[in-house]
């Protein structure tokens, strides 16, 4: 199948599409990290005293913690003093309307395919755009406001809704949860905050776009979504970064909180710069994402399509505390060239009759390593808990690796847990079948891979599904050998 190899060569040598930079004047903190950096960030944001205290506490905890060594990824040690912890586009000022947004910025987002201005006319998606460290624009605010929905940048939320932030910040991911969560708690610069009041079904998709633009910076944003009783929201997150030779750190925290009967659907299309084909550069994506199904009958659903980043280290999890609560995790993780991914989920069953479902599809090509690491933990009182996990790996090329590390811990005898995993390559017989029917090899591979990932793509909102399919095609098409 030398033709297949050729196609693989061509496709995998394709350049990263979002690798441009924009000259935005930025306001930066000096390199390095100490208590003064934390104070600097807090002062820049004009934060109240309690939040500064919270940050400092996290910083002191972080200093005592050690970087985790257990993930199946390898990278040179990170110099935390060589990172700029705060970088913001300068011309921020106060924005009353989108017309006042820096035209460079608008262009940036147009390049990304997210036209902030056009979004105003198009119905359907409200966007909060985060560049480097700060939220630059949020659309549809008023319209959402009419329904009592709060959707704004994190710093705005701190000023306008301190009582909500105080109550929920760190309630799902405590500041000392892990090394990167603690670092984030100390230096997080901005992010999105969303609150859906009782009984409201959010009429449009809410969306955040993250972009790292400046060099040497780390991005540390924090997203907090709270769905009150009976509320529903679907939330999308996308991200890109320019091509640079050095590695950049992205350590975000996402917290989801659902009350009784509420539901949050969180979708991610992650396309950070993965490094060049020799493994140089790229983003270290070390993210903590967790949802707490606090109330009975609540539901949290994670969908992720991971194609970017040099290293991905993330486990979107569900803590199923309320009785009858439901957790879902759908993931497609694609690695190529020298990318490494260690990703998966945790389903912690605490309440009675809780259910969870895991569908993870890993695709590795080139010299990449792709790991699924997941845990299903059924606590003692979680009677009748139910879990089904399926994790499949597809290998393309003989130099990549696929790894599965599922932990299943059951403390209740009425629980029913099933886990299945397979590893294989695209079968020669499958390709042969397509060729026979006049479908060329490249199209055949696209067909098979898309079919393989379909179960996950079906969970994505429509616009995202299209984008995800394109991304997948870009990273993989034809890579059967």
Partner 1 sequence: MSTTVTRDIKNEIAEAFHQSKFDVANDHRKSAFAFFEKTGLPGTKQEEYRFTPITKNLEKNFNWDIKATTSSINTIDEFLIPNLDANILVFVNGNYSASLSKIISPDTEVKIKTLSEAFKSDSATIAIYLDKVLTPESDPFAAMNAAFWQNGLFIHVPENTNVSKPIFILHFNDAGENQVISQTKILGILEKGSQLSVVEKFDSVGSNPVFHNFSEEWIVKEKSHLEYCKVQNDVGKSYQVANTIIHQSDNSLLNTFTLTLNGQWVRNNLSIIIDGEHCESHFYGLYLVNGNTLADNHTVVDHQKPNSFSNEIYKGIMDGNSKGVFNGKIFVRPHAQKTNAFQSNRNILVSETSTVNTKPQLEIWADDVKCSHGCTSGQLDEEALFYLRSRGISATLAKAMLLYAFASEVLAPIQNETLKSYLDILIAERLHNNF
Residues at the interface with partner 1 (CB under 8 A):
70, 393, 395-425, 481
Distance CA 363, CA 333 (A): 6
Q: Least distance in Å: CB of 370 to partner 1?
A: 10
Distance CA 406, CA 411 (A): 16
| CB-nearer residue toward partner 1: 70 or 163 | 70
| CB-nearer residue toward partner 1: 114 or 350 | 350
| CB-nearer residue toward partner 1: 408 or 473 | 408
Q: Least distance in Å: CB of 214 to partner 1?
A: 38
Give a three-class secondary structure readout of the chain: CHHHHHHHHHHHCCCCCCCCCCCCCEEECCCCCCHHHHHHHHHHCCCCHHHHHHHHHHHHHHHHCCCCCCCCCCCCCCCHHHCECCEEECCCCCCCCHHHCCHHHHHHHHHCCCCHHHHHHCCCEEEEEEECCEEEEECCHHHHHHCCCEEEEHHHHHHHCHHHHHHHCCCCCCCCCCHHHHHHHHHCCEEEEEEECCCCECCCEEEEEEECCCCCECECEEEEEEECCCCEEEEEEEEECCCCCCEEEECCEEEEEECCCCEEEEEEEECCCCCCCCCCCEEEEEEEEEEEECCCCCEEEEEEEECCCCEEEECCEEEECCCCCEEEEEEEEEECCCCEEEECCEEEECCCCCEEEEEEEEEECCCCEEEEEEEEEECCCCCCCEEEEEEEEEECCCCCEEEEEEEEEECCCCCEEEEEEEEECCCHHHHHHHHHCCCCHHHHHHHHHHHHHHHHHCCCCHHHHHHHHHHHHHHHCCCCC
Q: Least distance in Å: CB of 418 to partner 1?
A: 5
Q: Least distance in Å: CB of 398 to partner 1?
A: 5
| CB-nearer residue toward partner 1: 94 or 413 | 413
Q: Least distance in Å: CB of 220 to partner 1?
A: 29
Q: Least distance in Å: CB of 445 to partner 1?
A: 14
Q: Least distance in Å: CB of 38 to partner 1?
A: 30
CA-closest candidate to residue 346, choices 302, 323, 376:
376
| CB-nearer residue toward partner 1: 54 or 329 | 329
| CB-nearer residue toward partner 1: 304 or 371 | 371
| CB-nearer residue toward partner 1: 91 or 388 | 388
Q: Least distance in Å: CB of 377 to partner 1?
A: 9
| CB-nearer residue toward partner 1: 100 or 424 | 424
| CB-nearer residue toward partner 1: 123 or 424 | 424
Q: Least distance in Å: CB of 212 to partner 1?
A: 32
| CB-nearer residue toward partner 1: 417 or 472 | 417
Q: Least distance in Å: CB of 371 to partner 1?
A: 9
């Amino acid at each position: 199948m030398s033709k297949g190899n050729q196609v693989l060569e061509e496709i995998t040598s394709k350049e990263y599409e979002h690798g441009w930079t924009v000259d935005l004047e930025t306001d930066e903190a000096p390199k390095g990290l100490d208590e003064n950096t934390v104070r600097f960030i807090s002062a820049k944001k004009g934060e109240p005293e309690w939040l500064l205290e919270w940050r400092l506490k996290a910083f002191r905890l972080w200093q005592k913690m050690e970087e985790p060594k257990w993930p199946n990824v390898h990278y040179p040690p990170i110099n935390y003093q060589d990172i700029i912890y705060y970088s913001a586009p300068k011309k921020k000022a106060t924005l009353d309307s989108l017309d006042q947004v820096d035209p460079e910025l608008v262009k940036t987002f147009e390049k990304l395919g997210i036209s902030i201005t056009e979004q105003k006319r198009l119905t359907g998606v409200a966007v909060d755009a985060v560049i480097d460290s700060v939220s630059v624009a949020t659309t549809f605010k008023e319209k959402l406001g009419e329904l009592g929905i709060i959707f704004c940048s994190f710093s705005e939320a701190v000023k306008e809704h301190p009582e909500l932030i105080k109550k929920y910040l760190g309630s799902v991911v405590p500041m000392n949860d892990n090394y990167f969560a603690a670092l984030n708690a100390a230096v997080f610069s901005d992010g999105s905050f969303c609150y859906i009041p009782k009984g409201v079904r959010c009429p449009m998709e809410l969306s955040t776009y993250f972009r790292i633009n400046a060099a040497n910076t780390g991005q540390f944003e924090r997203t907090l979504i709270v769905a009150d009783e009976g509320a529903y929201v679907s939330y999308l997150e996308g991200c890109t970064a320019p091509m640079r030779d050095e590695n950049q750190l992205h350590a975000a925290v996402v917290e989801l909180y659902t009350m009784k009967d509420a539901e949050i659907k969180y979708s991610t299309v992650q396309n950070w710069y993965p490094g060049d084909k020799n493994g140089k550069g790229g983003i270290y994506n070390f993210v903590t994402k967790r949802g707490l199904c606090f109330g009975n009958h609540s539901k949290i659903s994670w969908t992720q399509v991971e194609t970017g980043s040099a290293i991905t280290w993330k486990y979107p999890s569900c803590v199923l505390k309320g009785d009858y609560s439901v957790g879902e995790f759908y993931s497609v993780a694609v690695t190529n060239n020298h990318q490494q991914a260690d990703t998966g989920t945790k389903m912690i069953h605490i309440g009675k009759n809780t259910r969870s479902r895991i569908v993870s599809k890993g695709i590795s090509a080139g010299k990449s390593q792709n790991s699924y690491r997941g845990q299903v933990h059924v606590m003692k009182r979680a009677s009748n808990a139910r879990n089904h996990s399926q994790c499949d790996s597809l290998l393309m090329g003989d130099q990549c690796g696929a790894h599965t590390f599922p932990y299943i811990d059951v403390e209740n005898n009425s629980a029913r847990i099933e886990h299945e995993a397979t590893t294989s390559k695209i079968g020669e017989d499958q390709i042969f079948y397509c060729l026979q029917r006049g479908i060329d090899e490249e199209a055949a591979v696209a067909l098979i891979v898309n079919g393989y990932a379909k179960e996950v793509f079906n969970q994505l909102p429509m616009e995202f599904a299209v984008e995800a399919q394109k991304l997948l095609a870009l990273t993989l098409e034809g890579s059967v050998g």
